[in-house]
Amino acid sequence: MHNRLRIVTVSYNSAEVIGDFLASVPPGIEVVVVDNSSRDASREIAAEHGARVIALDRNLGFGAACNRGAEGNEKDFVFFCNPDSTLTPDCCGLLIEAADRHPKAGAMNPAILNGKGAIRLNRRSALISRAEFTDRRYAEPGNKDSVEVNILTGAALFCRQAAFDAVGGFDERIFLYHEDDDLVYRMRQAGWTLRIEHGATVTHLGGKSSGNAISGAALKAYFIAQSRIYIERRHGVSMPRTRAALRAIAKLLSPFTLLSARKRAQALAYLKGTRRFDMQRYIDGDYMP
């Protein structure tokens, strides 16, 4: 069964975590590590674990790197996993079995647990209505549901290769954040379904910040603002830049923001990302602060 699957992970200075991830992959599964020009030992550790390493000479962003990892895959499925995750031994087999039971499913999430064992559920997206949000009950402890949903997360995204190819993979114009929303939204538009299969389990600990924690959080907020405006414009959401500006102002005026240097930095960076956004510059790859 495992010869039907390729696992793809994207590393960027991931030496602290990628070894544990690769050690959790069951034998017999092809693993491709796409390295976004790390400055640490990520590539060497990946090679030591027997993964095929695609070494990029610059950081192309998450979606573009995932596309490189999925290129030429002749297997039925591709499983995009963050390198700060670990898989349970039966995770991949259970996802393949679920995909066989649901041939119209283009993509699925397993149960994605945090370090305390709680389910991390991506319930909402800028691209779907409130009525389409995933029900909170699917994040309850011990949840083992198999159900169709309207949005998924890219932290552990199991895709049918045919569905991934049919929609053209990840949009490489998105550098970071919201590329998963865009991908699965396009799958739904193309007639594929999305599912959560909580019988299968991945633990996602979350990346360790490098450098200054506040500056890292601010940079993340900047990219989130830019990417959200882009996907909303691409998919016809009305007044995306105005919406983003209102969100930024609301964040800045929040009492919680006033009391936290980290939240102030995030709110200011979100506003900067909103003010700087230009659709053509973004498409041309000019999205850096």
Confidence at residue 288, expressed as pLDDT on a 0 to 100 scale: 81
Place of tokens 């590590």: 33
Segment 227-250 mean pLDDT: 94
Confidence at residue 227, expressed as pLDDT on a 0 to 100 scale: 97
Mean pLDDT check: name the lowest of 7-11, 29-33, 137-141, 177-181. 137-141
Task: Look at phi and psi of residue 214 and say left if phi exceeds 0, alpha if psi is from -120 to 50, else beta.
Answer: alpha
Chain-centroid distance of CA 45 in Å reads 22
Q: What percent of the chain has pLDDT over 70?
A: 97
Q: For 2-204, which CATH class?
A: alpha beta
Segment 231-254 mean pLDDT: 93
Segment 165-182 mean pLDDT: 97
In tens, the pLDDT along 107-117 reads 999 999 998 88
Paired strand residues for 31:
7
State the Cα angle at 16 between 12 and 20, rounded to 5°: 105
Rounded-to-integer distance, Cα 16 and Cα 43, Å: 12
Instruction: Give me the chain's average pLDDT, please.
Output: 94
Segment 148-172 mean pLDDT: 98
The pTM for the full model equals: 0.94
User: Where exactly are the structural domains of the chain?
Assistant: 2-204, 213-283
Q: Are 80 and 21 in contact (CB under 8 A)?
A: no
Confidence at residue 207, expressed as pLDDT on a 0 to 100 scale: 52
> Which band of pLDDT confidence, cut at 50, 70 and 90, is reported for residue 211?
very low
Q: Are 173 and 96 in contact (CB under 8 A)?
A: no
Segment 168-193 mean pLDDT: 97
> Which band of pLDDT confidence, cut at 50, 70 and 90, is reported for residue 212?
low
Segment 130-155 mean pLDDT: 94
- In sequence order, what E strands does the chain have? 5-11, 30-35, 52-55, 77-81, 85-87, 105-113, 146-149, 156-160, 193-204
Q: What percent of the chain has pLDDT over 90?
A: 87
Indicate if the pLDDT at residue 210 is higher than 50: no
Rounded-to-integer distance, Cα 136 and Cα 71, Å: 35
Q: Are 192 and 105 in contact (CB under 8 A)?
A: yes
Indicate if the pLDDT at residue 258 is higher than 90: no
Q: Are 110 and 7 in contact (CB under 8 A)?
A: no
HSE, side-chain direction, 13 A CA sphere, residue 49: 25
In tens, the pLDDT along 40-84 reads 999 999 999 999 999 999 999 999 999 999 999 999 999 999 999
> Which band of pLDDT confidence, cut at 50, 70 and 90, is reported for residue 208?
very low
